[in-house]
Amino acid sequence: MTEPTMKAPRKAVRPVKWMRENLFSGWFNTVLTLGVAYLLVTSVGPLLNWFFLDANFVGSDPSACTGAGACWVFINQRLNFFIYGFYPDELQWRVNVMFLLLAVAFVPQFIERFPGRKWLGIFGIFGLPVVGYFLIPGGSFGLEAVESSKWGGLMLTLVLAYIGIIASLPIGILLALGRRSEMPIIRGISVVFIEVWRAVPLITVLFMASVMLPLFLPEGVNIEKLARALIGITLWQSAYMAEVVRGGLQAIPRGQYEAASALGLGYWRRMGLVILPQALKMVIPGIVNTFIALFKDTTLVLIIGLLDVLGTVQSTVSDPTWQNVATEGYVFVAFCFWVFCFGISRYSQKLERKLDTGHKT
């Protein structure tokens, strides 16, 4: 015989009050609101028209683009090229397998309480490069070889960013340890290395890798363009990585170093077992942020003639069969990058909040 409980009073949501407080408080805010609203209304309409209402989606050649809006047919038709470059059609399943494995390894990282996500992450960092090393170029296990000059598009972008980050991590850690070392000469070498690479733009590094690297090597030794670009990117990125890791090393309280020494551990065990596990955990958001920066910077390889996703689009928009599709192509690439970068940056912010266990003073 419970008494009919009274409903809680409806929560006072008063749109008018909210608007008065947040949009129309004072004449200045009112003017601002009206101005911004006017701009929004006048620009959203034409944009919507261009993107969707006047746009053409289906068709197979430029003649299908009759509307005044975007010609998405273009993206549709060349999508294969934008994703795989010149990778042979019948072998693209290998790239797809890698895409799938990447997704399996890293998408669960966004989902808390996903069973075994830590192991998937570890596989993504250590196992995936090995799988990719055999799968994508082929040439072993009965897989047909695909020269790196045929790689391109989104796939190449991911290869560059992924290898760049994975390979620069260990070098970066060593450099950071070197910079914090008590031996003046080791410290000096690390500081010079880090500061020189950080001071020069990536383009000069890529130019150097493509022009000067062949000169540095003994005669007869020749490495392909992609590998040269990767060496340049890795060296350049490892300097940035070193600074991120150094931030973590500095944040570890002195007591941890002293306690590890008091246990009688040697330098490498002190670092490997006590300091680095804590420091690296602390700088995961920083590493993710440098990854985003590197991911965006991989577009620069088109300047030395590699066809990454922007490179493939850039080379097709100048194709005379398609008239004036530059904007469509750029919007497509921008969308690809934006989805990746925005998603990852959200992840890193979430991680930052989670890892912030109040150690910072």
Partner 1 sequence: MKQQRIDAGPAGPVPWYDPRVRSLFFQAIAIALVFWGGWVLVDNTLSNMESRGISTGFGFLNKTAGFGIIMNLVPYDATMSYGRTFWVGLTNTLLVSAMGVVTATILGFIIGVARLSSNWLVARMALVYIEVIRNIPLLLQIFFWYFAVLRNLPSPRQSLDVGGILFLNNRGLYLPGPMPQEGFGIVWGGILLAIAAVVGIRIRARKRQLATGQIFPAFRVGLAILVFVPVVSFLVAGRPLEWDLPVLRGFNFGGGITIIPELAALWIALSLYTASFIAEIVRSGILSVSKGQTEASRALGLPNGLTLRLVVIPQAMRVIIPPLTSQYLNLVKNSSLATAIGYPDLVAVFMGTTLNQTGQAVEVVAITMAVYLTISLLISLFMNIYNRAVAIKER
Which residues contact partner 1 (rule: CB under 8 A)? 22-23, 25, 29, 32-33, 36-37, 40, 182-186, 189, 195-196, 198-204, 207-208, 211-212, 214-219, 292, 296-297, 299-300, 302-303, 310, 314, 317, 324, 326-327, 330, 333-334, 337-338, 341-342, 345
Q: Name residue 56's beta-bridge partners.
A: 71
Between 128 and 333, name the residue whose CB sits nearer to partner 1.
333
Which residues on neighbouring strands pair with residue 308, listed in sequence order?
A: 153
b (16+ CB within 10 A) / e for 91-103: beebbeebeebee
For residues 50 and 123, which CB has a smaller minimum distance to partner 1 in the complex? 50
Shortest distance, position 337 Cβ to partner 1, whole Å:
6
Instruction: Output the smallest distance, CB 146 to partner 1, in A.
Output: 26
Contact by Cβ (8 Å): 226, 146? no
Shortest distance in whole angstroms from residue 52 CB to partner 1: 18
**Residue number, 123 or 257, with CB nearest to partner 1:** 257
> Please, which residue, 103 or 326, has the CB nearer to partner 1?
326
Least distance from partner 1 to the Cβ atom of residue 226, Å:
18
Closest among 69, 87, 154, 81 to 315, alpha carbons compared: 81
* Least distance (Å) between residue 201 CB and partner 1: 4
Distances (CA, A) of 290 to 149, 175, 234, 283, 293: 27, 16, 12, 11, 5
3-state SS, residue 71? strand
Burial class (CB in 10 A: 0-12, 13-18, 19+), 244: buried
Task: List the structure tokens of 336.
Answer: 């690809």
Please tell me whether residue 151 adopts helix, strand or coil conformation.
strand
Nearer to partner 1 (CB atom), residue 140 or residue 349: 349
Closest to 248 (Cα-Cα) out of 189, 185, 187, 172? 172
DSSP state of 264: T
Report the nearest approach of partner 1 to the CB of residue 273 (Å): 19
Cβ distance to partner 1 smaller for residue 79 or 212? 212
- DSSP label of 299: G
